[in-house]
DNA sequence: TCAAAAGTGTTATCCTTACACCCATGT
DNA sequence: ACATGGGTGTAAGGATAACACTTTTGA
């Protein structure tokens, strides 16, 4: 019980999310080291001598490197996987990495903190649906599902060795039903991680080849943009969490400006949850959740009738135990 | 970006939960080292050379040391706090600890794996409400709330330096309302961690004295049994998570035997969620969630009319996207 | 005058809550 | 017979889902 396993490093990985033109986007760093062609999430080592907590450590290096002001910051998961994190060779020091989700607001287009952020990291904000095109149902069912994913997944299901989950794990058919909505089952937008992991196992994700899997299909027509190490998995975790949290915590407002129209708010929620919402119901929802209040001003940039501007009512935090946008199945 | 912070150790802490006579109990290890008088959660170092993932590492040492078979295992949170984990002196190596929740079933009273588990660790399973007496509302509002906690917390609220949360943090009055149900607000049984942290901040938790806080009140009449380091915080996290998860995943069954009566199931759910449920509504809930099926047998040990025995329907896992006991506000 | 987007009112349906009553066994 | 716990039916209320329609601007 006293054998210490020394030589471990703690890495902090952050999925830093902001809205860029109605699109949820994530900060990626450039391929500065030239090690790999894929995008990576910003990464920083945790130094327990300088920082009292993991979150403070994260905030410190993010703010130092990117000049972004982080709003909501949330720990996602700690990964200790060998073979996923590091490349196959075992010589490098072991890195246990703690994944974080952070929300921020971009002040301006190209100037301001944001511009400097991009310059400093050599990367930039990129729409998260570039990495997960099958998660964007805002304009209906994504074509990639029926054209590429489901045919391949049905083949994978057919070659199922035992047609049933062993022990408590789900079998392939069940996972296809529950996570991908096969056989008329509903699509659950929160199951982003489950879908990613199932695709990974089925060998449809380019990253899986590093894990010693055959990726014939992945090589032929890659599903979404790849990322370094297991960063795409961290991003999938981040999206899952954000989509879930939206419903019981007012996190959207961390991504919005000071004032906004109800349509802008709806577009943001739609962008995050990846689905279309009914205008009328969404408005009533916001209304009787008392999440916002009118500023009295109107916005004329909409193209039609001017829209009232609203601001977030901070008071709800003190009023309601779980303030959020409890979108039903239709919103 | 390349400064490595070496010399860190990864510790794995598990809140291993099982039912002991209608009480949720947690495995604690004895004060073998004699270092501290308080109970501790079982702890093991993570050795990345021997174990591929954190969870496998955890399962390995738990099974080696306790002979328990773990069912559901779930990562809770990773703590890097200095000053909470380690004692104040900075000389010892930094430990980042990953908290886990694990559910298990005790096969027998004193023999079998359980007995050996107790013997091997020098500790045993102890009701979790020993550590959190204010969380047990099964027999109505706990007396300790009105007798000790709320008076002290009102005093703490009165000496609030700024009467309002600074920035996005909640003020003392709001926290008392939302987390402790002051001023007619409802009690939310999932806010176990929030309550513990508020009590900690208010100086009512014995453990806080190690963090350099004055604990006049804590010394006079300690609230609940203390634990070593920040283990009670990990346990609070575990209870919060389990209470929440109960509602959308069939985790209760990890704590039940193969077959059980509906009343036994209800008692277990009540024990975990810490509140009383209406019999009729609970039964209907279980019924149309299709979570169980009758075995055909009956139990005669109830004292009244024999009760039908049921077993968990594993098939729901494949049928429903979120099978659980969505207890409403009354159950 | 028309397109585009904002904003309002109303109804059917389901799920939650709550209540009241009957059944089978041991003592 | 009666106490004890097991088991069932049904009505009221509130939240959700879905519908169609009016209003105000710019071009």
Nearest chain B residue to A64 by CA distance is B1
Mean pLDDT within B33-48: 78
For residue B217, what pLDDT is reported?
A: 62
For residue B229, tell me if it sits in a domain. no
B4 touches chain A (CB under 8 A): yes
0.85 surpassed by pTM = yes
Which H/E stretch holds residue A255?
A: none
Of the partner residues B48, B78, B188, the one whose CB lies closest to the CB of residue A5: B48
How far is the CA of B172 from the CAs of B63, B164, B181, B203, in angstroms? 43, 7, 13, 13
A116 and A176 share one domain: no
B19 and B101 share one domain: yes
Mean pLDDT within B211-218: 61
More confident residue, B270 or B217: B270
B258 and B287 share one domain: yes
B281 touches chain A (CB under 8 A): no
For residue B271, tell me if it sits in a domain. yes
Number of separate domains in chain A: 3
B213 and B309 share one domain: no
CA of B329 to C1' of D21 (A): 38
A55 and A10 share one domain: yes
A160 touches chain B (CB under 8 A): no
Residue B190, phi then psi, degrees to nearest 5: -85, -10
Residue A294, phi then psi, degrees to nearest 5: -70, 140
Give the bases of strand D that a protein CB approaches within 7 Å: 3-10, 16-20, 23-26
A110 and A203 share one domain: no
For residue A54, what pLDDT is reported?
A: 94
A89 and A171 share one domain: no
Average pLDDT, 10 consecutive residues per value, chain A (331 residues): 58 95 90 63 90 92 87 94 51 79 80 52 84 95 95 92 62 92 90 96 88 61 89 97 94 94 94 92 88 89 84 88 78 60
Of the partner residues A75, A81, A191, the one whose CB lies closest to the CB of residue B77: A75
User: Is the pLDDT score of B218 beyond 70?
Assistant: no
For residue B143, what pLDDT is reported?
A: 94
B200 and B254 share one domain: no
For residue A107, what pLDDT is reported?
A: 74
For residue B162, what pLDDT is reported?
A: 66
- Work out the pLDDT band at B317, boundaries 50, 70, 90: confident
Q: Which of B184, B206, B224 is the last residue of a domain?
A: B224
| Contact (Cβ atoms closer than 8 angstroms) between residue A274 and residue A246 | no
User: Is the pLDDT score of B35 beyond 80?
Assistant: no
CA of A196 to C1' of C13 (A): 36
Q: Lowest mean pLDDT of A86-100, B72-86, B127-141, B254-268, name the range.
A: A86-100
Residue A277's Cβ-count burial label (10 Å; 0-12, 13-18, 19+) is buried
Q: How far apart are CA B174 and CA B165, in angstroms?
A: 8
Closest CA to A41 of A90, A101, A89: A101
A200 and A291 share one domain: no
A96 and A125 share one domain: yes
A162 and A260 share one domain: no
Per residue, the 3-state secondary structure of A123-177, as one string, reads CEEEEHHHCCHHHCECCCCCHHHHHHHHHHHHHHHHCCCCCCCCCCCCCHHHHHH
For residue B45, tell me if it sits in a domain. yes
Percent of chain B past pLDDT 70, that is, above it, reads: 81
Max CA distance (Å), chain A: 70
Q: Lowest mean pLDDT of B267-271, B288-292, B309-313, name the range.
A: B288-292
For residue A244, tell me if it sits in a domain. no
Q: How far apart are CA A253 and CA A261, in angstroms?
A: 12
Q: Which of B72, B101, B130 is the last residue of a domain?
A: B130
For residue A275, what pLDDT is reported?
A: 92
Tokens 């609203």 belong to A310
Distance from CA of A284 to the nearest CA of B (A): 23
For residue B3, what pLDDT is reported?
A: 39
For residue B27, what pLDDT is reported?
A: 95
What CATH number does the domain containing B260 carry? 1.10.10.10
What CATH number does the domain containing B11 carry? 3.90.79.10
For residue A307, tell me if it sits in a domain. yes
Q: How far apart are CA B14 and CA B4, in angstroms?
A: 28
Mean pLDDT within B60-70: 88
| Contact (Cβ atoms closer than 8 angstroms) between residue A152 and residue A50 | no
| Contact (Cβ atoms closer than 8 angstroms) between residue B104 and residue B16 | yes
CA angle at A75 for the pair A73 and A79, rounded to the nearest 5° = 145
Give the single-character DSSP code of B284: H
Residue A196's Cβ-count burial label (10 Å; 0-12, 13-18, 19+) is buried
Per-residue pLDDT of B115-170, as tens digits, reads 555 555 557 899 999 999 999 999 889 999 999 999 999 999 998 776 554 456 78
For residue A110, what pLDDT is reported?
A: 47
- B158-197 as b/e: b if 16+ CB within 10 A: eeeeeeebeeeebbbbbbbbbbbbbeebebbbbbbbbbbb
Q: How far apart are CA B169 and CA B150, in angstroms?
A: 21
Contact at CB, B81 and A9, closer than 8 angstroms: no
Of the partner residues A9, A77, A177, the one whose CB lies closest to the CB of residue B4: A9
A315 touches chain B (CB under 8 A): no
- Work out the pLDDT band at B86, boundaries 50, 70, 90: very low
For residue A4, what pLDDT is reported?
A: 41
For residue A88, what pLDDT is reported?
A: 43
For residue A119, what pLDDT is reported?
A: 52
- Work out the pLDDT band at B220, boundaries 50, 70, 90: low
Structural domain range at position A274: 250-319
A79 touches chain B (CB under 8 A): yes
User: Is the pLDDT score of B91 beyond 80?
Assistant: no
For residue B264, tell me if it sits in a domain. yes
For residue B64, what pLDDT is reported?
A: 86
For residue B213, what pLDDT is reported?
A: 61
What is chain B's mean pLDDT, rounded? Answer: 84
Tokens 């990464």 belong to A43
For residue B4, what pLDDT is reported?
A: 40
Footprint of strand C on the protein (CB under 7 A): A 261-263, 279-280, 283, 298, 302-308; B 278, 280-281, 284, 300, 304-306, 326-331
Per-residue pLDDT of B8-30, as tens digits, reads 889 999 999 999 988 999 999 86
User: Which tokens is A114 given?
Assistant: 């944001």
For residue B330, tell me if it sits in a domain. no
Between A and B, how many residue pairs show a Cβ–Cβ distance under 8 A? 133
CA angle at B38 for the pair B35 and B42, rounded to the nearest 5° = 85
**CA distance from start to end of chain B:** 52
For residue A111, tell me if it sits in a domain. yes
A7 and A126 share one domain: yes
């Amino acid at each position: 019980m006293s054998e210490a396993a020394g030589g471990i490093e703690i890495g902090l990985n952050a999925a830093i999310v902001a809205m860029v033109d109605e699109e949820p986007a994530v900060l990626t760093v450039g391929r500065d080291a030239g090690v790999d062609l894929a995008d990576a999430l910003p990464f920083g080592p945790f130094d327990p001598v300088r920082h009292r907590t993991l979150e403070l450590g994260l905030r410190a290096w993010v703010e130092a490197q990117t000049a972004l002001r982080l709003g909501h910051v949330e720990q996602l998961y700690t990964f200790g996987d060998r073979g996923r994190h590091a490349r196959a060779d075992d010589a490098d020091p072991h890195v246990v990495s703690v994944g974080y989700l952070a929300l921020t607001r971009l002040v301006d287009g190209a100037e301001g903190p944001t511009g400097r952020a991009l310059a400093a990291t050599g990367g930039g904000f990129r729409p998260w649906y570039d990495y997960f095109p099958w998660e964007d149902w805002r304009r209906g069912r994504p074509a990639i599902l029926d054209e590429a994913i489901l045919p391949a997944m049905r083949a994978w299901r057919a070659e199922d060795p035992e047609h049933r989950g062993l022990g408590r794990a789900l079998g392939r058919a069940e996972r296809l039903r529950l996570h991908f909505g096969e056989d008329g089952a509903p699509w659950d937008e929160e199951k982003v991680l489950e879908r990613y992991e199932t695709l990974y196992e089925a060998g449809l994700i380019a990253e899986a080849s590093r894990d010693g899997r055959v990726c014939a299909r992945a090589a032929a027509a890659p599903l979404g943009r790849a990322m370094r190490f297991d960063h795409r998995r961290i991003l999938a975790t981040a999206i899952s969490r954000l989509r879930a949290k939206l419903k019981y915590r007012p996190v959207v407002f961390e991504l919005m400006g000071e004032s906004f129209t109800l349509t802008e708010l709806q577009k943001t929620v739609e962008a995050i949850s990846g689905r279309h919402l009914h205008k009328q119901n969404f408005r009533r929802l916001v209304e009787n959740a008392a999440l916002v209040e009118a500023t009295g001003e109107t916005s004329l940039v909409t193209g039609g009738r001017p829209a009232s501007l609203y601001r977030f009512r901070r008071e709800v935090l003190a009023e309601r135990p779980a303030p959020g946008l409890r979108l039903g199945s239709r919103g």
